[in-house]
């Protein structure tokens, strides 16, 4: 049986304890309830910055299950039992795309769930509620030194900029949290132990504008913007640390025969290290300045101006390879026969990891794909294996949450 070097706990022995065994069996026995709950929550729209309807839905569900639940000032749903220290189990509420009506989330003939957010993060949120109900319906081990804190948080996707997790990390409650287990997506084949950093910018060029014929010669913001994008896209990114740049949105102008007064683009810069991101940000600034200079040198009339505004920043970070939380989940995976690999990704885990708080992000169970598209799907087969993984990892953390525990 798989053991854990950090605590000497045998995972097989833990899973065989009466209270734990009953809870593990509950996940398999209650598949239908979990699937129905999954579909219900996905039919409540929660686009980034507009998660309030789903947050209210979650608060009522937590309360109905016997948890003390409330919504904080950021919009996060916090459910607790007892006092700290806590181990926090979290999943983000928001989705990139939102269903326009309940019929947008369907169950296909082969059992697949289809629709916006059914995997990211329907799978994580369903797992959060499954643990919430199992925790109340099953007997719990008596030797736990921490309580469970459940968080359905806002602002993980896109320009949400991890605002929910940032807010939580600044509250007095955060001092009672010994470790985080973040549920993001479905698949169980990854363990996010490194936080992929990102910095996002809006480039804006402005000018006097005018008629494409009679005012020809004035500085053209759209020409300048395209030049800046072209210059920045020529940046060579080779070797390590792994990095990437992307211009994901560009807009400007009002008519084919009008010189624009404004043109804007949004740029995403990512890297495994903060130092590399800083280097790429400097290069973006150089490209914008050079594009402005070239356009104004060409112009015979009014000039263009440029502004570079940061609209998002997620810190890069890495969990120590010998962190107990990482040893725990790998021991659990060995016991359950899950083949997983360490992953670098941008998730809610970025914030606690950058603050030195033990954290990993894992999937909620089942299999999903097509995330962030209209073709997103989820298969619930095997979900109970992912839920068992979550519970066993939580129990190890909760038994090791005293002074110096959980990797602190």
Q: Are both 216 and 167 inside the same structural domain?
A: no
Average pLDDT over residues 321-328: 95
Per-residue pLDDT at 322: 93
Q: Are both 321 and 310 inside the same structural domain?
A: no
Q: How far from 55 is each of 74, 135, 166, 407, CA to CA, in Å?
A: 11, 21, 17, 31
pLDDT tens for each residue of 299-318: 999 999 999 999 999 999 99
Q: How far apart are CA 46 and CA 94, in angstroms?
A: 5
Domain boundary among 279, 296, 314: 314
pLDDT tens for each residue of 126-142: 999 999 999 999 998 88
Asked whether the predicted pLDDT for residue 33 surpasses 50, the reply is yes
Average pLDDT over residues 37-55: 98
Q: Are both 156 and 298 inside the same structural domain?
A: no
Asked whether the predicted pLDDT for residue 88 surpasses 50, the reply is yes
Per-residue pLDDT at 405: 52
Q: Say if strands 190-195 and 317-318 run parallel, antiparallel, or are unpaired.
A: antiparallel
Per-residue pLDDT at 119: 98
Q: Are both 371 and 299 inside the same structural domain?
A: no
Half-sphere exposure of 170 (CA within 13 A, CB side): 9
pLDDT tens for each residue of 265-302: 999 999 999 999 999 999 999 999 999 999 999 999 99
**Helices 31-42, 122-137: inter-axial angle, 10-degree rounding:** 130
The answer to whether residue 404 is domain-embedded is no
Q: Are both 223 and 333 inside the same structural domain?
A: no
Q: Are both 347 and 309 inside the same structural domain?
A: no
Per-residue pLDDT at 238: 86
Q: Are both 88 and 202 inside the same structural domain?
A: no
CATH of the domain at 216: 3.30.70.360
Per-residue pLDDT at 5: 44
Per-residue pLDDT at 323: 96
Average pLDDT over residues 181-202: 98
Q: How far apart are CA 192 and CA 326, in angstroms?
A: 10
Q: What is the mean pLDDT of the chain?
A: 94
Per-residue pLDDT at 6: 44
Average pLDDT over residues 76-90: 95
Q: Are both 87 and 20 inside the same structural domain?
A: yes
Per-residue pLDDT at 400: 79
Domain carrying residue 298: 197-314
Per-residue pLDDT at 7: 47
Asked whether the predicted pLDDT for residue 373 surpasses 50, the reply is yes
Per-residue pLDDT at 9: 63
Q: Are both 289 and 321 inside the same structural domain?
A: no
Per-residue pLDDT at 8: 57
Give me the long-range contacts of 109-116 (CB less than 8 A, separation at least 24): 111/379, 111/380, 111/381, 112/377, 112/378, 112/379, 113/38, 113/39, 113/42, 113/377, 113/378, 113/379, 113/380, 114/375, 114/376, 114/377, 114/378, 115/42, 115/376, 116/42, 116/374, 116/376
The answer to whether residue 406 is domain-embedded is no
Q: Are both 290 and 320 inside the same structural domain?
A: no
Tell me the pLDDT band of 23, cut-offs 50, 70 and 90.
very high
Percentage of residues of the chain with pLDDT beyond 70: 96
Asked whether the predicted pLDDT for residue 218 surpasses 90, the reply is yes
Domain boundary among 289, 314, 339: 314
CATH of the domain at 166: 3.40.630.10
Q: Does residue 361 contact residue 345 with C-beta atoms inside 8 Å?
A: yes
Task: Return the minimum-mean-pLDDT range out of 86-100, 147-161, 321-335, 394-408.
Answer: 394-408
Phi, psi angles (nearest 5°) of residue 223: -60, -45
Per-residue pLDDT at 208: 97
Q: Are both 191 and 210 inside the same structural domain?
A: no
Q: Does residue 367 contact residue 381 with C-beta atoms inside 8 Å?
A: yes
Per-residue pLDDT at 402: 52
Q: Are both 110 and 124 inside the same structural domain?
A: yes
Task: Return the minimum-mean-pLDDT range out of 8-12, 195-199, 246-250.
Answer: 8-12
Q: Does residue 358 contact residue 324 with C-beta atoms inside 8 Å?
A: yes
The answer to whether residue 376 is domain-embedded is yes
Q: How far apart are CA 238 and CA 43, in angstroms?
A: 43
How many structural domains comprise the chain?
A: 2
Q: Which residues pair with 340 in a beta bridge?
A: none
Per-residue pLDDT at 29: 96
pLDDT tens for each residue of 390-407: 999 999 999 976 544 554
Half-sphere exposure of 217 (CA within 13 A, CB side): 4
């Amino acid at each position: 049986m798989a053991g854990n070097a950090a605590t000497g706990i045998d995972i097989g022995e833990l899973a065989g304890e009466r209270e734990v065994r009953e809870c593990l069996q509950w996940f398999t026995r209650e598949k239908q309830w979990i699937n129905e709950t999954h579909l219900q929550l996905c039919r409540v729209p929660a686009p980034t910055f507009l998660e309030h309807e789903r947050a209210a839905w979650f608060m009522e569900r937590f309360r109905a299950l016997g948890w003390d639940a409330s919504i904080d000032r950021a919009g996060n749903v916090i459910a607790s039992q007892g006092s700290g220290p806590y181990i926090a189990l979290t999943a983000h509420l928001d989705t990139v795309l939102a269903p326009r009506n309940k019929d947008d989330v369907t169950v296909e003939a082969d059992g697949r769930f289809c629709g916006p957010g059914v995997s990211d993060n329907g799978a994580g949120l369903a797992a959060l509620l499954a643990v919430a109900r199992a925790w109340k319906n099953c007997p719990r081990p008596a030797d736990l030194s921490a309580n469970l804190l459940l968080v359905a948080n806002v602002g993980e996707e896109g320009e949400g900029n991890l605002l929910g997790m940032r807010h939580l990390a600044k509250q007095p409650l955060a001092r009672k949290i010994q470790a985080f287990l973040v549920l993001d997506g479905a698949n169980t084949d990854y363990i996010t132990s490194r936080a992929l950093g990102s910095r996002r910018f809006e480039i804006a060029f402005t000018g006097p504008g005018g008629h494409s014929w009679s005012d020809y010669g004035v500085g053209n913001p759209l020409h300048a913007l395209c030049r800046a994008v072209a210059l920045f896209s020529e940046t060579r990114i080779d070797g390590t640390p792994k990095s990437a740049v992307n211009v994901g949105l560009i807009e400007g102008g009002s008519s084919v025969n009008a010189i624009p007064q404004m043109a804007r683009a949004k740029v995403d810069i990512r890297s495994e290290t903060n130092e590399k991101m800083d280097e790429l940000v400097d290069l973006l600034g150089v490209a914008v300045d050079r594009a402005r200079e070239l356009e104004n040198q060409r112009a015979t009339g009014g000039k263009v101006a440029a502004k570079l505004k940061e609209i998002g920043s997620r810190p890069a970070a890495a969990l120590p390879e010998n962190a107990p939380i990482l040893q725990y989940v790998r021991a659990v995976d060995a016991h359950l026969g899950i083949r997983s690999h360490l992953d670098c990704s941008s998730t809610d885990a970025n914030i606690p990891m950058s603050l030195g708080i033990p954290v990993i992000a894992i999937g909620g169970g089942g299999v999903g794909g097509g995330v962030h598209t209209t073709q997103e799907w989820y298969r619930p087969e095997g979900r109970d294996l992912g839920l068992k993984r979550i519970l066993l990892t939580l129990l190890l953390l909760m038994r090791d949450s005293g002074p110096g525990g959980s990797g602190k």
